[in-house]
Chain A
């Protein structure tokens, strides 16, 4: 590794100012778990890293707002998120997903903001929060905007974040009785990058599924919503036949990539099967 500058701003404006010059070799670092791998791989050589760890107090905390939404500070660690009482109370699906996200040593230092901003499709949190309808507050030195997590990703490692912008907060709307699940499929060791991640939620109208939302990642170039699959689930019971045909729709709808975890053909089979499995998982999760 080649030497670089290390800055430790004490406030958000200071951090944003350090990042604001638009130099892509200047990058923010939160937990650094993903960024360090890229530096070791030789694909990224920073001239300066702007550490956000002193912004803890400004950007931490998990609380419920007046609308019943959960507001999560971007510098919250994944372990803190995993064990937050508010998560246990209202978002069991998030805790279940975090238990299998990487490993405890990584979760202890990785932050929610970093997990969302990184842009590697092989991650668990982005499709999950996208599916939950979460919104990210993005701050620049003079700007502030709120973007749905679902709309953050434009390509492989590409996000809508401009240089000089940081995610400061993520807001997650309540499930309001919807069933939700995140199915992580690994093709090698149990503790591994996902080969496929399927996040879905839906409401029930008697026996029928309605208002389904399906988001996948890992096997795709970026976090990807599957509207055709959502339509295929709508109005049908969650029985074997309906889930099988929804799986077929998903297998045809998604554009899948081959990589170290498996060929596109194999991932297609996983997707075909895991739409149904995720729905069943959501149904068994229904007692929050």
Chain B
């Protein structure tokens, strides 16, 4: 039976529901100390002193660590994938409320926490900047100089730059946007904004650093074990192979656990005290770790009367918070899809990553795409309305088709945008008349389509190890964080080696054993690591075939693998090891105009349609129908694929209607699930999620990434449906009942009193 395409249950399902699944939190090591963190109460300031005497004196406290201690073993204690700008503990400055300043180590976590309350620090407060637009203009600078990490070639020129909050700017020019705009029949311009949100992985960040003879083992909830190993080794000045990173299952990642989070603090503490150290954040502390970029997107389009988009200008500002993390990549890699999945000859894109005094922003499911789709699909809907053209028809006129050049100049291949649009229209019954209601509850419908370019170029290496009894194990550093990667990759191996997926043992990431992977992020694993896994399995298979020839078995004789080993080695002994590595072809974008003939190996497409009921007396919006259709190529595991789409949908529903990190004086005022509400079971509307029939020709068995595709269209589809229902446009997320009611009443000429 073919294994690829099987809707089989996840390999770890039983362990998860019976409580036997392995998570970092379960680890108990002899002598393990707990680390609790003392955090900045000032949004921007010089750190003058830290008084740890009272904390150190508390019975049960083993040691209190500050940057001075870290400097003894790490001369440059700054980390980050794009910039080495984030200190392990604040050295001479703090840049956001909640930034780690000191750490207490104790056996008992309650004593550690109690000691934290006894620490005090003095600051010379500096003015703070919180808004992305202001950050661009202000003379309040979050960083004195920029410190690019050197890992990304296009950031090198920024080294030492001063007097700026711009961590990265991305510029793209295609065609002649100024002329085309001037000659357009209609020009429309809008500004859209999005809010700061949190991933809310149910397992907040947790890392345990364990000193060993060899060096250090870090057990951690990370999506990027290879990077963690390299970065910790770099900080300590050690060769990579003295650091071992082990990753069990994750209780969700969503981008919150990429690159270095708490691993560096755990590692330096462990090295300083020569004992295992556990850093486990509470959900409250997760709000001070990593978030989603708020954005301001100015978008302008020139269109012809008959509905063809002739030119589009995009100016996007990304609020990256106090430290860059992977923000610059979000700005750039999503930046070039800012005009949307449309065939527009003349495009201008300017995308800026700004530093501000807020919790750092980084990768969050969608990697910037949802913020862009929010703006361009609301904008596109407004254009269609202005021209009096049906929203589906308008998109039909303008979407990118096979072979046509996207804004970067890369031609579109295997991107079923049209099919997604048509499927959406059909499932929404778009051609049928729609009753908008006559009473206080009005009905409306809306659609939106978005797309993403897979990150490129990235490297993935996989090992398939066939044992003497004929069973196989897969060694790869892809992390199963609930997206089902273990299962899908096992299915690939099993398909190539003609066995059942259940019998493939997937070895969880362990950098002593599993080879390099760029990271489990950006929906890249299915395609990039999937290709590597397939190559590794094929390599194992051809080695087994070679083994068969070696023992003089005729071609096509179907001898079981264990028989081959016995024949070759005289007994049940030996291994056959297949290796595969994959890096896609790639042409870097031109520095001056962002153009590239090959900017991505695959595109992800997602389209959403919704029907809503709007209570015009209270602003409550009820989604009564939601259709979410993606192009995910040929799914390796259709049932896991569906749960990925519905999971992405629910997550994005939260960002659309419920979630926002509130800030007052730099302090997050709702840092708790009691006040930061995520969707619960009763918030989930009836959903119809599906994949169109499509194939990614350069993907493993026609597959490609899908984890984020379900997020793209949700927010603008709902805003478009609200507009359809009550005739008001909302420009900013989240679409809470109060926001909707205020918009309705303002449009009616009886606005509510200002919120205090």
Query: Hey, which bits of chain A sit against chain B, CB under 8 A?
Result: 1-3, 37, 40-41, 103, 185, 187-193, 258, 260, 262-266, 269-270, 273
Is A263 in contact with B683, judged by CB distance below 8 angstroms? no
CB contact list, B728-743 vs A, under 8 A: 736-738, 741-742
Q: Which residues of the partner chain B approach A266 to less than 8 Å between Cβ atoms?
A: 619, 737-738, 741-742, 752, 755
Q: A192-B677, A263-B756 are in contact. List 14 more A-B contacts (CB 8 A).
A: A1-B114, A2-B114, A103-B680, A188-B658, A189-B677, A189-B679, A189-B680, A190-B682, A191-B682, A258-B756, A260-B662, A260-B670, A266-B619, A266-B741
Tell me the minimal C-beta distance from A126 to chain B in angstroms: 18
Main secondary structure on B side of the interface with A: loop
Q: A1-B113, A185-B618, A269-B617 are in contact. Are A260 and B675 (CB under 8 A)?
A: yes
Q: Which residues of the partner chain A approach B110 to less than 8 Å between Cβ atoms?
A: 1-3
Q: Which 5 A-B pairs have the closest CB atoms?
A: A263-B755, A190-B682, A189-B677, A265-B753, A188-B677
Query: Hey, which bits of chain B sit against chain A, CB under 8 A?
Result: 110, 113-114, 117, 284, 617-619, 658, 662, 669-670, 672, 674-675, 677-683, 736-738, 741-742, 752-756
19 contacts between A and B (CB under 8 A): A1-B113, A3-B110, A37-B674, A103-B680, A187-B737, A187-B738, A188-B677, A188-B736, A191-B680, A191-B682, A193-B674, A260-B662, A262-B737, A263-B752, A263-B755, A266-B737, A266-B741, A266-B752, A269-B618
Identify B114's interface contact among A3, A188, A264, A265, CB under 8 A: A3
Tell me the minimal C-beta distance from A267 to chain B in angstroms: 9
Rounded to whole angstroms, the CA-CA distance of A266 and B739 in the bound complex is 9
Q: Which residues of the partner chain A approach B113 to less than 8 Å between Cβ atoms?
A: 1-2
Is A264 in contact with B756, judged by CB distance below 8 angstroms? yes
Is B683 in contact with A189, judged by CB distance below 8 angstroms? yes
Tell me the minimal C-beta distance from B615 to chain A in angstroms: 9
Closest Cβ neighbor of B684 among chain A residues? A190
Is B736 in contact with A269, judged by CB distance below 8 angstroms? no
Q: Which residues of the partner chain B approach A269 to less than 8 Å between Cβ atoms?
A: 617-618, 741, 752
Rounded to whole angstroms, the CA-CA distance of A190 and B682 in the bound complex is 6
Is A2 in contact with B658, judged by CB distance below 8 angstroms? no
Rounded to whole angstroms, the CA-CA distance of A128 and B663 in the bound complex is 34
Q: Which residues of the partner chain B approach A270 to less than 8 Å between Cβ atoms?
A: 618
Closest Cβ neighbor of A37 among chain B residues? B674
Closest Cβ neighbor of A41 among chain B residues? B672
Identify A265's interface contact among B617, B658, B681, B755, CB under 8 A: B755
Q: A3-B114, A190-B682, A192-B677 are in contact. Are A265 and B618 (CB under 8 A)?
A: no
Q: Which residues of the partner chain A approach B677 to less than 8 Å between Cβ atoms?
A: 188-189, 192
Q: Which residues of the partner chain A approach B674 to less than 8 Å between Cβ atoms?
A: 37, 193
Rounded to whole angstroms, the CA-CA distance of A207 and B223 in the bound complex is 66
Rounded to whole angstroms, the CA-CA distance of A286 and B678 in the bound complex is 35
Is A2 in contact with B117, judged by CB distance below 8 angstroms? yes
Rounded to whole angstroms, the CA-CA distance of A41 and B110 in the bound complex is 15
Tell me the minimal C-beta distance from A245 to chain B in angstroms: 15
Tell me the minimal C-beta distance from B97 to chain A in angstroms: 15
Q: Which residues of the partner chain B approach A263 to less than 8 Å between Cβ atoms?
A: 738, 752-753, 755-756
Q: Which residues of the partner chain B approach A40 to less than 8 Å between Cβ atoms?
A: 284, 672
Q: Which residues of the partner chain B approach A189 to less than 8 Å between Cβ atoms?
A: 658, 677-680, 682-683
Q: Which residues of the partner chain A approach B755 to less than 8 Å between Cβ atoms?
A: 258, 263, 265-266
Rounded to whole angstroms, the CA-CA distance of A266 and B753 in the bound complex is 8
Interface centre among A185, A188, A263, A270 (most CB of B within 10 A): A188
Closest Cβ neighbor of A196 among chain B residues? B618
Rounded to whole angstroms, the CA-CA distance of A265 and B752 in the bound complex is 6
Rounded to whole angstroms, the CA-CA distance of A265 and B110 in the bound complex is 42
Q: Which residues of the partner chain A approach B753 to less than 8 Å between Cβ atoms?
A: 263, 265
Tell me the minimal C-beta distance from A186 to chain B in angstroms: 9
Rounded to whole angstroms, the CA-CA distance of A255 and B114 in the bound complex is 40
Interface centre among B672, B678, B738, B741 (most CB of A within 10 A): B738
Rounded to whole angstroms, the CA-CA distance of A187 and B755 in the bound complex is 15
Rounded to whole angstroms, the CA-CA distance of A189 and B658 in the bound complex is 7
Rounded to whole angstroms, the CA-CA distance of A265 and B742 in the bound complex is 10
Tell me the minimal C-beta distance from A198 to chain B in angstroms: 12
Closest Cβ neighbor of B734 among chain A residues? A188
Tell me the minimal C-beta distance from A230 to chain B in angstroms: 22
Q: Which residues of the partner chain B approach A258 to less than 8 Å between Cβ atoms?
A: 755-756
Closest Cβ neighbor of A42 among chain B residues? B117
Closest Cβ neighbor of B678 among chain A residues? A189
Closest Cβ neighbor of B657 among chain A residues? A188
Q: Which residues of the partner chain A approach B742 to less than 8 Å between Cβ atoms?
A: 266
Q: Which residues of the partner chain B approach A191 to less than 8 Å between Cβ atoms?
A: 680-682
Rounded to whole angstroms, the CA-CA distance of A187 and B113 in the bound complex is 34
Closest Cβ neighbor of A258 among chain B residues? B756
Closest Cβ neighbor of B742 among chain A residues? A266
Rounded to whole angstroms, the CA-CA distance of A2 and B117 in the bound complex is 10
Q: Which residues of the partner chain B approach A3 to less than 8 Å between Cβ atoms?
A: 110, 114
Closest Cβ neighbor of A267 among chain B residues? B738
